[in-house]
A and B are shown apart, each in its own frame.
Chain A
Amino acid sequence: MKELICIVCPKGCHLKVDEENGYSVTGNACPRGAEYGKKELTAPTRVITSTVKVRGAIYSRCPVKTAAPIPKGLIFAAMELLNDVELQAPVRVGDIVIEDICGTGIPFVAARDL
């Protein structure tokens, strides 16, 4: 039995995950908690947010995020990719910044208009 704090939403449910019984989850307030509990112990993922350089905008950095959670182990490799990007304004929220993060098929997208 493993105890976890759910990070799916800010509520932070205290989960109990039974690794020996098919990762069944208790203490979750919603179905997404059950999913998280299992995934966190088998294949943990995270949404990564950061910034990239941008030219011609009111600020010199534009926020970006992974369009979906990526494997935890790829976080620093994903960050590394952002160093080589420089956007040109205008940028629209949702614009693809990097198409495929380390073979996951998940893109980095712009997180605001700039």
Chain B
Amino acid sequence: MMNYDKHYEVVIVGGGPAGLAAAYSACRNGARKVLIIERDREVGGILNQCVHNGFGLHYFKEELTGPEYAGRFADMVKGTRADIMVDTMVLEITPEKIVKCASQQYGYQAIKADAIVLCMGCRERTRGAIEIPGDRSSGILTAGTAQRYVNIEGYMPGKKVVILGSGDIGLIMARRMTLEGAKVLAVVELCPYSNGLNRNIVQCLNDYNIPLYLSHTITNIIGKTRVEKVVISEVDGFTPIPGTEIEFECDTVLLSVGLIPENEISIRAGVDIDGRTRGAYVYENMQTSVEGIFASGNVVHVHDLVDFVTGESIRAGAAAAEYALGKRVGGRVINVVTKPGVNYTVPQKIRPDNIEKNVEIFFRTNKVRGNSVIRVKSDGNEIAKFKREHMAPGEMEKISIPKVLLDRCGDSLEISVEDAES
């Protein structure tokens, strides 16, 4: 038996929106000893640097900025009995649920947990990961890092900016840099469609006349010391088309080219990872493949809206509390299978015995679509269908399947999307 310093019923790794909601929910569902471990100086996570508004419409029914949303949840958690260790980094979780962490204030600790909720969020893809060729200049950073410099530290990372990727952070930073006096010359997107929310195209780019180059990518960065010039080219699929080069004289390149769930700790704990989401395989209650280890938020799959992170985390926190208090879930397991038009689903596994009324399944489609039909089948028989007027990979979809239907279906649930016949 391994030694440990402390014991908690539920330990939550990460105090961002997912961790705060999970902690709140764990306390509300009967857990008495709950701990949040947060690596930063305060809870709230990336929301603290997202000073723009648009958060909370689903959960709080009003439009909040990131810090306001984080603040509300921090206050809600303060009203519970949850303990919080800030400025503390979790280094390892053992399969026996010993959480090892380090901190200047608390030293090196091993904390035994009955249940764990993984809420580590995600990281940004980098220049290295997407292999942008060219000089190794300074002035190339991820949009999120730039956002931290501007909004938290109060520094400008550049004056003339080209942004690669039209994910939401890229769009938000295009506006933010413009408001702070920088010139954003272009937002360049490899796909033929934007990966950000439509509202952000309107209010971040169109409002400020920032051009969006769809089906383009950066093919060279020039600048021995600092970025001096960026070359973009049109692409055919993913291949740059010679002769379509456009040059921009700029000093900064911001990258908003995707987010990757941070699961290195999860993997060491023995959690199985879905190659499609790069997050854990989860059941309907957000439990991972390791019993008693749950996960929620961007560490499971990258969300567009924090409200959905909250919803998912409330389920995870409740399930973790129930597990810690002795509840065990068994019974039949239905595998959710992705069929054409569907890139992934969360959850990937459903246990009907653990569903009260219905189960929500989140997924993303593979391309921009007009009128579409989402079909849910089991063993080839359609059990439900849902209509959508508009679908896009940048917008997470949600369907809700009643328990009565689950009880009737076999061991797999196949989800597909197709264009509706007009």
Contact status A5-B57, CB under 8 Å? no
Contact status A7-B57, CB under 8 Å? no
Q: What residues of chain B lie closer than 8 Å to A72, measured between beta carbons?
A: 207
Task: Write out, one digit per residue, whether chain A residues 23-45 have a CB within 8 A of any chain B CB (1) or not (0).
Answer: 00000000000000000000000
Q: A60 an interface residue at 8 Å Cβ cutoff?
A: yes
Give the distance in Å from the alpha carbon of A109 to the alpha carbon of B203 in the complex.
Answer: 21
Contact status B65-A7, CB under 8 Å? no
Rounded to whole Å, the gap between the CB of B280 and the closest CB of chain A is 25
A4's closest neighbor in chain B, by CB?
Answer: B202
Q: Which of B193-201, B231-239, B329-337, B375-383 contacts A (4 or more CB under 8 A)?
A: B193-201
Give the distance in Å from the alpha carbon of A47 to the alpha carbon of B52 in the complex.
Answer: 9
Give the distance in Å from the alpha carbon of A6 to the alpha carbon of B201 in the complex.
Answer: 11
Contact status B152-A49, CB under 8 Å? no
Give the distance in Å from the alpha carbon of A72 to the alpha carbon of B209 in the complex.
Answer: 13
Contact status B151-A51, CB under 8 Å? yes
Determine which of B70, B203, B304, B390 lies in contact with A7 in the assembled complex, contact meaning CB atoms within 8 Å: B203
Q: What residues of chain B lie closer than 8 Å to A10, measured between beta carbons?
A: 54, 57, 197, 199, 304-305
B55's closest neighbor in chain A, by CB?
Answer: A10
Give the distance in Å from the alpha carbon of A9 to the alpha carbon of B54 in the complex.
Answer: 7
Q: What residues of chain A lie closer than 8 Å to B63, measured between beta carbons?
A: 9, 47
Q: Given A7-B202, A49-B51, A61-B153, do A14 and B65 touch, yes or no (CB 8 Å)?
A: no
Q: How large is the interface on B (under 10, 10 to 19, 20 to 34, 35 or more residues)?
A: 20 to 34
Q: What residues of chain B lie closer than 8 Å to A12, measured between beta carbons?
A: 197-199, 395
Contact status A58-B65, CB under 8 Å? no
Number of A residues near B (Cβ < 8 Å) is 30
B176's closest neighbor in chain A, by CB?
Answer: A50
Determine which of A8, A59, A111 lies in contact with B152 in the assembled complex, contact meaning CB atoms within 8 Å: A59
Contact status A111-B153, CB under 8 Å? no
Determine which of B41, B48, B53, B66 lies in contact with A47 in the assembled complex, contact meaning CB atoms within 8 Å: B53
Task: Write out, one digit per residue, whether chain A residues 75-111 have a CB within 8 A of any chain B CB (1) or not (0).
Answer: 1100100000000000001000000000000000001
The residue among B52, B68, B153, B304 with the most chain A CB atoms within 10 A of its own CB is B68
B206's closest neighbor in chain A, by CB?
Answer: A5
Contact status A58-B42, CB under 8 Å? yes
Q: B179 an interface residue at 8 Å Cβ cutoff?
A: yes
Q: Given A10-B305, A61-B153, do A111 and B41 touch, yes or no (CB 8 Å)?
A: no
Contact status A5-B51, CB under 8 Å? no
Q: B71 an interface residue at 8 Å Cβ cutoff?
A: yes
Contact status A51-B203, CB under 8 Å? no
A92's closest neighbor in chain B, by CB?
Answer: B71
Give the distance in Å from the alpha carbon of A63 to the alpha carbon of B154 in the complex.
Answer: 11
Contact status A75-B71, CB under 8 Å? no
Give the distance in Å from the alpha carbon of A14 to the alpha carbon of B389 in the complex.
Answer: 10
Q: B45 an interface residue at 8 Å Cβ cutoff?
A: no
Q: B15 an interface residue at 8 Å Cβ cutoff?
A: no
Q: Given A9-B57, A10-B304, A63-B151, do A111 and B68 touch, yes or no (CB 8 Å)?
A: yes
Q: What residues of chain A lie closer than 8 Å to B150, measured between beta carbons?
A: 51
Q: What residues of chain B lie closer than 8 Å to A79, measured between beta carbons?
A: 179-180
Contact status A61-B152, CB under 8 Å? yes
Q: What residues of chain B lie closer than 8 Å to A63, measured between beta carbons?
A: 51, 65-67, 151
Give the distance in Å from the alpha carbon of A44 to the alpha carbon of B153 in the complex.
Answer: 32
Determine which of A5, A49, A51, A53 lies in contact with B53 in the assembled complex, contact meaning CB atoms within 8 Å: A49
Determine which of B53, B152, B154, B203 lies in contact with A65 in the assembled complex, contact meaning CB atoms within 8 Å: B53
Q: What residues of chain B lie closer than 8 Å to A53, measured between beta carbons?
A: 154
B-contacting residues, A1-21, CB 8 Å:
4-10, 12, 14
Rounded to whole Å, the gap between the CB of A102 and the closest CB of chain B is 15
Rounded to whole Å, the gap between the CB of A95 and the closest CB of chain B is 12
Contact status A50-B201, CB under 8 Å? no
B151's closest neighbor in chain A, by CB?
Answer: A51
Q: Given A79-B179, A112-B68, A113-B71, do A14 and B390 touch, yes or no (CB 8 Å)?
A: yes
Contact status B51-A60, CB under 8 Å? no
Q: What residues of chain B lie closer than 8 Å to A61, measured between beta carbons?
A: 151-154
Kindly list the 5 A-B residue pairs having the minimum CB-CB distance in the complex, ordered from nearest: A12-B198, A112-B67, A7-B199, A63-B51, A61-B154
Binding site for B on A (CB under 8 A): 4-10, 12, 14, 46-51, 53, 58-61, 63, 65, 72, 75-76, 79, 93, 111-113
Task: Given contacts A7-B198, A51-B150, A112-B48, list 7 more A-B pairs with CB under 8 A.
Answer: A7-B202, A8-B199, A9-B63, A50-B179, A50-B180, A59-B154, A63-B65
What would 30 A/B residue contacts be, using CB atoms closer than 8 Å?
A: A4-B202, A5-B199, A7-B198, A7-B202, A10-B54, A10-B57, A10-B199, A12-B197, A12-B199, A46-B203, A47-B63, A49-B52, A49-B53, A50-B51, A51-B51, A51-B150, A58-B42, A59-B154, A61-B151, A61-B153, A61-B154, A63-B67, A63-B151, A65-B65, A75-B207, A79-B179, A111-B65, A112-B67, A112-B70, A113-B71
